[in-house]
């Protein structure tokens, strides 16, 4: 464990907010600190922070164990509509990237923390000549990605980008908030973008004030695990600029947050509760039936493509200049 300094700006001035909320037995053992707000750059973060080795073991073995985080829905036979949540989020991220690419056709694409490959798949459909690369540590995801024909790298990220880059697109979807050194990773990736290449970032939209209130959504978790950092739009902008990026687009995205009472917030969330009540075999049968019977156009969820207001995610598109903004580390 390490503690005492901001993960973004290096300041030692961290003010405690509340205890960290873990969900899994492994998470309760690993993420045992507090949420703190940096008084210098305002980023909320876990302190103390687990080591790289501890986090690596957690993501490789524990993160998706027991079917968590989409592991129980991954199905090569029905991919990419095996998990309509990931399918729609992947569609929305890819659509935004295509909009900002203009007439440019990328030849090399890297998805860091690619999960089960829904974003890469959609980008591959839009750019069939592009080489698709994934960096992934989770063992179930590595096997799945290889099953859909993606080049998977599970070694050190610095080695991967030096050998396989430069890239025209780098995707960080729900990865930045998991990193112990977000500035270092962003600078590494930026330095391995081709001229004019695009970085796509999506993170949970969790401004500091919401961590002390009761915002709810059926599409977002109520626990903190396993995130190390928590972003509002100003904090994400500051981090990207500090890391040498010029921001072309940054906006809230996806379904809206809904503020509820403390009592309602602490009642069991409806969708996960219903899912737990349905036997796993029946869940898989229903997924197979819906994947085969539904018109593909009907699987598009408009809320995942919506922007502005108090929404559950932040999406950004940026280019790398190398000129670090704000306060240097």
Helices (H), 213-269: 233-242, 262-266
Q: What is the distance between the alpha carbons of residues 43 and 189, in angstroms, rounded to a whole number?
A: 21
Instruction: Please tell me what DSSP assigns to residue 11.
Output: -
Q: Confirm if 241 and 39 have CB atoms less than 8 A apart.
A: no
Q: What is the distance between the alpha carbons of residues 45 and 12, in angstroms, rounded to a whole number?
A: 12
Angle among Cα 130, 251, 157 to the nearest 5 degrees reads: 45
Per-residue pLDDT of the chain (329 residues; tens, 9 = 90+): 445 799 999 999 999 999 999 988 888 889 989 999 999 999 999 999 999 889 988 887 776 665 555 556 678 888 999 889 999 999 999 999 999 998 899 999 999 999 999 999 999 999 999 999 999 988 888 999 999 999 999 889 999 998 888 999 999 999 999 999 999 999 999 999 999 999 999 999 999 999 988 888 989 988 899 999 999 999 999 999 999 999 999 999 999 998 776 676 666 655 555 555 556 555 555 445 544 444 455 578 999 999 999 999 999 999 999 887 644 43
Backbone φ and ψ for 249, nearest 5 degrees, come out as -155, 135
Q: Burial level of 235, CB count in 10 A (0-12/13-18/19+)?
A: buried
What's the pTM value of the predicted model, to 2 decimals? 0.86
């Amino acid at each position: 464990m390490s503690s005492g300094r901001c993960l973004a700006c290096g300041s030692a001035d961290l003010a405690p907010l509340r205890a960290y909320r873990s969900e899994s037995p492994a998470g309760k053992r690993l993420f045992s600190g507090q949420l703190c707000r940096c008084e210098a750059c305002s980023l909320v973060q876990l302190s103390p922070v687990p080591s790289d080795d501890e986090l690596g073991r957690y993501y490789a073995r524990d993160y998706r164990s027991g079917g968590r985080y989409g592991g129980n829905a991954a199905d090569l036979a029905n991919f990419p509509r095996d998990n309509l949540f990931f399918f729609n989020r992947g569609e929305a991220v890819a659509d935004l990237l295509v909009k900002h690419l203009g007439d440019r056709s990328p030849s090399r694409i890297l998805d860091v923390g690619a999960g089960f490959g829904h974003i890469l798949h959609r980008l591959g459909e839009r750019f069939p000549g592009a080489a698709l690369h994934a960096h992934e540590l989770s063992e179930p995801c590595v096997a799945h990605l290889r099953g859909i024909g993606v080049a998977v790298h599970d070694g050190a990220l610095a080695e991967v980008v030096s050998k396989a880059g430069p890239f025209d697109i780098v995707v960080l979807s729900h990865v930045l908030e998991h990193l112990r050194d977000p500035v270092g990773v962003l600078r590494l990736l930026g330095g391995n973008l081709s001229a004019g290449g695009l970085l796509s970032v999506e993170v949970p939209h969790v401004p500091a004030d919401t961590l002390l209130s009761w915002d709810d959504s059926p599409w977002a978790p109520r626990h903190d695990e396993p995130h190390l950092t928590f972003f509002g739009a100003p904090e994400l902008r500051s981090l990207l600029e500090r890391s040498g990026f010029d921001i072309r687009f940054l906006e809230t995205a996806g379904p809206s947050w809904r503020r509820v009472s403390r009592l309602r917030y602490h009642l069991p969330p409806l969708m996960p509760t219903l899912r737990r009540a349905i036997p796993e075999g029946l869940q898989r049968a229903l997924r197979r039936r819906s994947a085969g019977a539904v018109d593909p156009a009907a699987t598009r969820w408009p809320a995942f493509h919506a922007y502005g207001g108090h929404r559950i995610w932040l999406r950004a598109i940026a280019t790398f200049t190398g000129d670090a903004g704000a306060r240097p580390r």
